[in-house]
Amino acid sequence: MLRTFPEHQIRRNQLLDGPWDFMKDPLNMGVQEKWFERFPHSPLSLYVPSCWNNELGMYEYEGVGWYRKKIRIENPQHVRLIFHAVMGHAEVYLDGQHLGYHYGGFTPFEFIVPSLAAGEHEIVVRTDSTLDRLTIPTEQVDWFHYGGIIRSVELQYLPDLYIERVKIDYELQGADADVSVQVQIRSFLQSVQTTRLALSEGGHELHSEEVQIEAGQTFSHTFKKLLPEVRLWNVGSPELYTFRVRTAEDDKFERIGFRRIETKDHRILINGSPIYLKGVNRHEEHPEWGFAFPPKLMHKELDIILELGCNSVRGSHYPQSPYWLDLLDEHGMVYWSEIPIWGAFLPNETVSEPLFQERALTMIEEMIGLHIHHPSVIFWSVHNEIDTRTQEAFAFTQALIGLVKKLDTSRLVTYATMHPLEDILLPLFDVIGINKYFGWYEGDVSGFKDMLEQFHKRAEQLGAGNKVVLMTEFGGAGLFGDVGWEPRLFSEDYQAHIVTEALAIFKNDPKIGGTFIWQFADIRGDLKSSSKNFRDRARGFNNKGLVNEYRKPKQSFREVRRIYRSWTE
């Protein structure tokens, strides 16, 4: 299930989820698409979507993996093959022909194949999960190096004139919304063709007209509509609008929510009301599924996060599934979306490397493309914990922010810094996120007070004193079940102590606009030899979750629930 609502009523699609042939290629020998022919009898059967590290004997495998699926097409068809997420490098072949390459991990990519003949076809995907110094994330990262096709593969059957893209923008004018719906239609035909293009919302037609599409061309059309007295999407009381664009042979649904995002007096305002953010950091990860997190569990995950009293989630540290964002939209939760630049150990030179920069910019573009219509998304975040004290970081960040602003001016641009007292980027952002671990990696938890005092002074000096500041990470490890009479290091009691003390300090600081605890659930850590930096990860897990990896509550969960529920602002 890709979304909580249907995206098409007319267009036919098929999810290619299920068993695919799979082979490891540890020596990276398969230089071309004939690789399966060399070992015709030995493939494993691997369920897609999944991470191969969850299969027996594959736990630590990082490298190349080949996937193959046979499909049958009844009649000649134009098809669109969408990979909703593949970890790392992906080369895709159809019947031995190279369709293309994608680098990334948490965003979709697609191929259009006009007039695919009837009969059997073979899709082969070469994936490479290897992390190195220029991948994003790089090899030094505090999460498990999962590999594989982690989200669904979808085959859509396209008509001769198909809806390639629908993009909805709006401006609120008083109680009304000035909506613009941009539509792109592509023609596979050899001759000019007319079609009736219609826009509706909630089942009511808003407008329709005949349009003429030239042979083989892409046609763009913008509907402009003033919707009077729209119901607003608010935190905790969401209102959603579902638009449908249709032609005689094709359609596409997009769902949005109308809301106004501003900042004032160190607070985020949604529709003019200040919202204090009560949040957690969520990895979309589970020990049995890795990053291929099943939708059913997302429902439960959201129930637990709501039970905790949260109104927001930071999607640490990569673009999460549209299904998850649909649930957040439907429950009026705020979401922070970010790309997987994880910089705590990132050498400063890396941020100036052209390939690293190009990958980062592409990831920004793809993240915004994926999440643009979700009203829950309030923040675009461009990096986490890079060395924000340097000119290299400054130049890189300017380029990233420039691209975000070009693609979407309606949300707040942010990041998370681990150098709040030396950071030179503060003035560049709408919102500043601070990651700090007093009580865990440094000093006593009371150290937050002094740090924040110094931070606010410095922000003032840099001309960033008016920005909204969020505590985007803080916390400590608590091993599930390790409870006692005193708060010993690594016990649930000690973790609960750090988190509760920290929350009290932040809530008393009028310049802090919200808190995101590190983290919601325990996650698998990086087990590779390069992980000398993560030696405190008992069991191979980052144990700072309020719930363990199977979502069972720790002491800190109960304490945070008490605190978050008592905060009424």
Site residues for ligand ADA per CB under 6 A = 142, 317, 344, 384-385, 435, 473, 518, 542, 544
Distance of alpha carbon 46 from alpha carbon 86, whole angstroms: 14
Shorter beta-carbon distance to ligand ADA: residue 108 or 315: 315
Shorter beta-carbon distance to ligand ADA: residue 522 or 559: 522
Least distance to ligand ADA, CB of residue 470, Å: 14
Shorter beta-carbon distance to ligand ADA: residue 138 or 542: 542
Distance of alpha carbon 36 from alpha carbon 101, whole angstroms: 19
Distance of alpha carbon 436 from alpha carbon 509, whole angstroms: 16
CB atoms within 10 A of CB 91: 20
Shorter beta-carbon distance to ligand ADA: residue 192 or 421: 421
Shorter beta-carbon distance to ligand ADA: residue 435 or 495: 435
Least distance to ligand ADA, CB of residue 534, Å: 8
Shorter beta-carbon distance to ligand ADA: residue 35 or 518: 518
Distance of alpha carbon 187 from alpha carbon 540, whole angstroms: 52
Least distance to ligand ADA, CB of residue 435, Å: 4
Least distance to ligand ADA, CB of residue 518, Å: 6
Long-range contacts of 54-59 (CB under 8 A, 24+ apart): 54/287, 54/288, 54/289, 54/290, 58/24
Q: What is the β-pairing status of strands 176-187 and 204-213?
A: unpaired
Beta-bridge partners for 208: 198
Least distance to ligand ADA, CB of residue 293, Å: 17
- Give just the sign of the alpha carbon dihedral 294, 146, 474, 332: negative
Which residue from 443, 428, 423, 433 is spatially nearest to 506, judged by alpha carbons?
433
Least distance to ligand ADA, CB of residue 480, Å: 16
Shorter beta-carbon distance to ligand ADA: residue 155 or 432: 432
Which residue from 112, 191, 105 is spatially nearest to 156, judged by alpha carbons?
112
Shorter beta-carbon distance to ligand ADA: residue 66 or 415: 415
Distance of alpha carbon 449 from alpha carbon 262, whole angstroms: 27
Least distance to ligand ADA, CB of residue 442, Å: 11
Beta strands in 214-272 (DSSP E): 218-227, 241-246, 251-256, 261-264, 267-270
Shorter beta-carbon distance to ligand ADA: residue 474 or 557: 474
Residues with Cβ within 8 Å of 173's Cβ and at least 6 positions away in sequence, in order, are: none
Shorter beta-carbon distance to ligand ADA: residue 102 or 317: 317
Q: Is 515 helix (H, G, I), strand (E, B) or coil?
A: strand
Sheet holding 88-94, edge to edge: 44-48, 18-24, 64-73, 119-128, 88-94, 97-104
Least distance to ligand ADA, CB of residue 473, Å: 4
Least distance to ligand ADA, CB of residue 314, Å: 10
Query: Which amino acid belongs to residue 3?
Result: R
Q: Are 208 and 246 in contact (CB under 8 A)?
A: no
Which residue from 181, 159, 193 is spatially nearest to 245, judged by alpha carbons?
181
DSSP 75: S
Q: What is the β-pairing status of strands 88-94 and 97-104?
A: antiparallel
Report which residue's Cβ sits closest to ligand ADA. 142
Least distance to ligand ADA, CB of residue 539, Å: 14
Distance of alpha carbon 491 from alpha carbon 476, whole angstroms: 10
Least distance to ligand ADA, CB of residue 184, Å: 38
Shorter beta-carbon distance to ligand ADA: residue 247 or 316: 316
